[in-house]
Amino acid sequence: MVTKYRNTAITLFCLSFSLLLIQFLIRVDTYYLSDPLVKMIQVISLWNQNWSTEGILYPSTDLDPLFLMSPLNESFVFLHEGKLIGPFPIGFTFLYSIFGLIPFRFLPYLNVVFLILFIRLLYKNGIQPSVLILTILGTVAFPLLIDFSENGLFLIFAGYGYTFLYQAFLNDKKENWILGNIFLGLSLWFRLEGILLFLTIQLTIWLIHFYIKKQSLSQTLHPLRYIIFFTLLFFFLIWNTINYSHPLGTRYLTNFGKIEKQIHEQIQIFLAIVFTYPRSNAWALGFFIHTPVFLYTLIQLRKKQIFQNPTLLFHFSIVIIFTLLVGITAPNDGVTLTGRYLSVLILPLSFLLNDQIAELKKTKIRFYLFFVWSYLCTLLILVVFYLSSQELKKLRKELAQFESPLIVTTNELLSGSYGLDLLNKKVISVRKEYFVKYLFYNIQNAKQNEFMVLTVAKVTKYNKEEKDVFAEILSEAKYSGYDCSKEERSARVIGRRCIKIEK
């Protein structure tokens, strides 16, 4: 027993240290771009405004009162009742903002706490060391914990909700039903997949009890099994309706509300999430391609074996039903980490693999191939993280050369690369030609005497429209009485300094 506890402690330390080491190498305390950038700006904005409003601080409001030229990813923010709102729920933003007494740059490193809790959850539920290590290092879980996000919190709340409801399925204890409902109810404030997971669990339990165990309908639909979750869901929907005019809130408005998809497009998204699908620049790394041993485990389960073992049937049904629900509803394939919508399946799949691991170890070559492949996939993702962080560091160093009271960029990569400086620096992004007139109308009203226009130096077939925007800005600047003849360059950026001509 002492040896087992010591080995578990060593495993816990090594996995936790690995996460911290990777975070340090990537420098996640400065790695703010795209999603993590919007999330951290939301958190700091809430703290700096004393929780009076969750509107994102935007220093260029006088130059962009309609929020048409936000420097942030335009898919991640939207205007609501005069406020620039991000896609991440107030529960996530508020929880992190209360840590404002410590430097915000340390917040991404708190993910190690969620990793420790997740490992403890698996260990307490009897997951063997080899399966535990694979579950952490060989799945999408580890990459999801690298940068600043809600994923760690969601994994914990959804994970504990799942295990408590699993225990309730086994022993029908009141406290397990209550705790499972509470944890999954709280998970809604971080990711909407919490709703799908709860529905999947309830549907699975109902099917097993009604069709396999032949229980009566009144037994299978007892209110204790869902009333607390539905109460929390009700408050969640009411909060969103009042604050964002839609019951599913900011995530729906920024992910679903802007996209209308055909059936074939949804099938492509489903394939990218689960397996893989070719894109213009690369193939997607889906959940089961990343961790193929999970798929092998599902295939190896025999029909007789499943239906004679309620626990295996429970986990197996969760995997199948949840995967289908995600495939039907997912707004996109996750882009950077395509398997993230299925991240909570790590729990039921870990239980299934844990049951099959002894059989799998009998064929050592297959066992090692599966595990090494998964670790290599994770390593590949981490290398991409590292390389992108290095490129971001270089780009920021170049951007520091261009100083001006107002920075106007032609794409969100340049504007977003200013990172957390966007909280106190005037940076706007003009992505379309028809915004140029709007820009100069506001520049004239604000009596802006100087600004700098930045664009990407390299001309490619993908940025022709961007070059047209750059030319249009310079043309309109000349017409409005600005001298933009002075050009400044760095390795990847061209800048034109525009100064008002005194008459």
Report the greatest alpha carbon distance in the chain.
Answer: 90
Q: Considering the domain boundaries, does residue 261 fall inside one?
A: yes
Query: How far is C-alpha 126 from the geometric centre of its chain's CA atoms?
Result: 29
464 φ, ψ (degrees, to nearest 5)? -60, -45
Q: Considering the domain boundaries, does residue 95 fall inside one?
A: no
Asked if pLDDT for residue 400 goes beyond 60, the answer is: yes
Please report, for the domain that includes residue 404, its CATH number: 3.30.110
499 φ, ψ (degrees, to nearest 5)? -125, 135
* Mean pLDDT confidence for 430-456: 89
Same domain, 353 and 420: no
Sequence-distant (≥ 6) Cβ neighbours of residue 368 within 8 angstroms: none
Nearest Cα neighbor of 59 from 439, 448, 427 is 427
Give the HSE-up count for residue 284: Cα atoms under 13 Å, Cβ half-sphere: 24
* Mean pLDDT confidence for 253-260: 64
Across the chain, mean pLDDT equals 86
**Over the stretch 290-332, which tens digit does the pLDDT of each residue have?**
999 999 999 888 766 788 888 999 999 999 999 999 988 887 7
Q: Considering the domain boundaries, does residue 161 fall inside one?
A: yes
- Which pLDDT band, with edges at 50, 70 and 90, does 74 fall under? low
Q: Which domain holds residue 218?
A: 2-30+103-360
Asked if pLDDT for residue 1 goes beyond 60, the answer is: no
Residue 464 confidence (pLDDT): 76
Asked if pLDDT for residue 280 goes beyond 70, the answer is: no
∠ CA 91-348-365 to the nearest 5 degrees? 130
Asked if pLDDT for residue 195 goes beyond 90, the answer is: yes
Same domain, 448 and 346: no
Residue 4 confidence (pLDDT): 61
Same domain, 453 and 329: no
> For strand 78-80 and strand 83-85, is the pairing parallel, antiparallel, or unpaired?
antiparallel
Same domain, 354 and 407: no
Asked if pLDDT for residue 228 goes beyond 90, the answer is: yes
Q: Considering the domain boundaries, does residue 44 fall inside one?
A: no
Q: Considering the domain boundaries, does residue 133 fall inside one?
A: yes
Q: Considering the domain boundaries, does residue 383 fall inside one?
A: no
d(CA 316, CA 310): 10
Same domain, 346 and 438: no
Same domain, 272 and 413: no
Same domain, 121 and 198: yes
Report residue 351 as tokens: 């239980």
d(CA 421, CA 13): 35
Same domain, 107 and 12: yes
Same domain, 404 and 352: no
Domain end (from 338, 360, 382)? 360
Domain end (from 339, 360, 381)? 360
By three-state DSSP, how is residue 79 classified?
A: strand
d(CA 229, CA 224): 10
86 φ, ψ (degrees, to nearest 5)? -90, 170
**Over the stretch 21-35, which tens digit does the pLDDT of each residue have?**
999 999 888 888 778
For the entire predicted model, the pTM comes to 0.90
User: Contact at 8 Å (CB) between 450 and 499?
Assistant: yes
Report residue 287 as tokens: 């959940």
Sequence-distant (≥ 6) Cβ neighbours of residue 253 within 8 angstroms: 78, 80, 87, 244, 246
Q: Considering the domain boundaries, does residue 75 fall inside one?
A: no
Domain end (from 360, 383, 414)? 360
Same domain, 421 and 308: no
Give the HSE-up count for residue 259: Cα atoms under 13 Å, Cβ half-sphere: 18
Same domain, 147 and 282: yes
User: Contact at 8 Å (CB) between 173 and 131?
Assistant: no
- Which pLDDT band, with edges at 50, 70 and 90, does 16 fall under? confident
Q: Considering the domain boundaries, does residue 143 fall inside one?
A: yes
Query: CA dist 254 to 26, 70, 75, 249, Å?
Result: 28, 15, 6, 9
Asked if pLDDT for residue 256 goes beyond 70, the answer is: no
Same domain, 305 and 451: no
Report residue 345 as tokens: 């399946």
Domain count, the chain: 2
Sequence-distant (≥ 6) Cβ neighbours of residue 394 within 8 angstroms: 491
